[in-house]
Amino acid sequence: MPLQEHYTYEQVKAILGDRRMDRIGSNTYAAMPTDGSPGQIDITLHRTQVATLYPNGVVRINSDGYRTKVTADRIRRFLPAGWALGAYAKGWILYYHGFGTTFEDNIALTEQGGYFLPVNG
């Protein structure tokens, strides 16, 4: 199955239908975990969970240290509306309507432009 240019939570949920997991592209899978939040959908590239989609529109993204073109491509396909990812040799930057913030693994983004940094504990 070729990857779409962009996916929303609703589109991925429709692709899954009654299934718990389905391939949505080359080495890319969508799955509803049995132990996660109700309605949560995990997007996995190889063995890295690159995005977690929530019913409220929040998307948590992660490179797990694999700052590659393919990882950046997969993350871009699941970003909330208004967000973009610039992947540069010196680091990745997230943009919301032109305003940038440094990419951090496990950062959560909202459709309204808000973001939540991961809690280190």
pLDDT in tens, 57-107: 999 999 999 999 999 999 999 999 999 999 888 899 999 998 999 999 999
pLDDT for res 77: 95
Residue 72 lies in a domain: yes
Answer yes or no: is 4 within a domain: no
φ, ψ dihedrals at 2, nearest 5° = -75, 145
pLDDT of residue 36: 64
Residue 117, domain member (yes or no):
no
- Identity of the residue numbered 33: P
Rounded-to-integer distance, Cα 1 and Cα 35, Å: 27
- Token digits of residue 67: 């700052």
User: Is the predicted pLDDT of residue 121 greater than 50, yes or no?
Assistant: no
Q: How many domains does the structure of the chain reveal?
A: 1
Mean pLDDT score of the chain:
91
The range of the structural domain enclosing residue 30 comes to 9-111
The answer to whether position 45 is within a domain reads: yes
Give the pairing type, strands 91-96 and 83-88.
antiparallel
Percent with pLDDT over 90 in the chain: 76
- What value does the mean pLDDT take over residues 43-65? 96
Query: Cα dist. 118→12, 36, 108, 109, 115 in Å?
Result: 24, 17, 8, 11, 10
pTM of the entire predicted model = 0.91
In terms of Cβ atoms closer than 10 Å to its own Cβ (0-12, 13-18, 19+), residue 25 is middle
Residues in the chain: 121
Residue 16 lies in a domain: yes
Closest of 77, 110, 93 to residue 85, by C-alpha: 93
Judged against a pLDDT cut of 90, whether residue 1 lies above it is answered with no
